Structure 1
Amino acid sequence: MIEFRNVKKTYPNGTVALDGVNLRINDSEFVFIVGSSGAGKSTLIKLLLREEKVTEGRLIADEFDLTKLPNYKVPYYRRRLGVVFQDFRLFPNMTVYENVAFAMRVIGEPNKVIRRRVPSILNIVNLQDKYNCFPRELSGGEQQRVALARALANNPDTIIADEPTGNIDPKMSLEIMNLLVKIHKKGKTVIVVTHEKNLVDYFKQRVITIRDGKVVEDKIGGMF
């Protein structure tokens, strides 16, 4: 469970990015977060990733109080999250297999676990025939699927996808969204930040709209 309790985020220059946000996302929910550029979507995600700290209010993620979480505990908290970015953030000199395995190696998973788990994850995202390819040899949609596989590598409770379809064509965008829905059906919490109206309207999940740093609409089966 993720809960924002009257959260405010003010930057040193006085800009108020979030103002009195009250929001609860239950375990195993699928949520779209939408809004125009500068509305506060990215700030909300940065707070959730604990890249930035709340100025006022409380932010709770399961047993972690992110408002008070000491820096040395942040890496342990982040292990519960899988993050997919718009720009993929793959290592260009690593193969598909190595990019996914890297996420497991940094937390100390033994090689036998990596060898067993990476192929199964790549099967989930339909990249079983691309193990030895480098990112430059893949399409944008395939690269995003690698990024999604890497986000799944450590079996996180929550997947956060920040504009995951921003750099790929409409057909691949639909494919990525279908994969996220598939992952959600396995019991994961999925949070998607997007500006893609057609995708939001098509999938009819919970839609949270942010405007000027405030949650102005929150609908189940909503539309953009």
Structure 2
Amino acid sequence: MKILVADDDPQLVRALRITLSAHGYEVVAAPDGAAAVTLAAAERPDIVMLDLGMPRLDGVGVIHALRGWTTAPIIVVSGRTGSADKVEALDAGADDFVTKPFQIDELLARLRALSRRVSASPGEPVVSFGDVQVDLAAKAVTRAGALVHLTPTEWQILEFLARNPGTLVTRQALLKDIWGTEQITDTGYLRLYLSQLRKKLEADPARPVHLLTEAGMGYRLVLDA
């Protein structure tokens, strides 16, 4: 599997190249945003890992450029910790966000999760709530008949909830399903992704009636509200 690493810190890029290569990944690297877009078009990586604060073109600009032609998973690895930066990156089309400094085991777990592409079995149901339809076979979501773009991680969360409608899904179960381990500390990523899903699928995201949070426990998809 090929990973494009875009970061203007040569020491970090060197360390990631060594570590990822040791775990079986093929690594190509770009020192700035413009080079990242060019290299992505030439190399067609399976996963893109990028920083936000790069010269020539920042990370969000790279995400917008890539999302014009590829659905390859994008993971942001950045020293920016503000929620506004995370939301902006996710809105642009990133699939995950890891804050520097990071534990390499956690990063590898997230990469493994992003690399999973399991084909849906034919004949799977369509789950409906409000004006939203979730086609589990086609891995497609529509709202009032219009196609809704979800990132791969947003889809995984929604799919997990849609397969368990009305049931409390714990944070631990979601973390294990999406990132492959319960050991990853939930530092707000699930809340952030649920917020994004509500913006896209709820009539009033501030007062959700379908994608509900059970305080201290997890989340629940309510079909008939």
Q: TM-score, normalised by structure 2?
A: 0.30
| Higher share in strand | 1
| Higher share in helix | 2
Q: TM-score, normalised by structure 1?
A: 0.30
Relative CO higher for 1 or 2, CA cutoff 8 Å, sep ≥ 6? 1
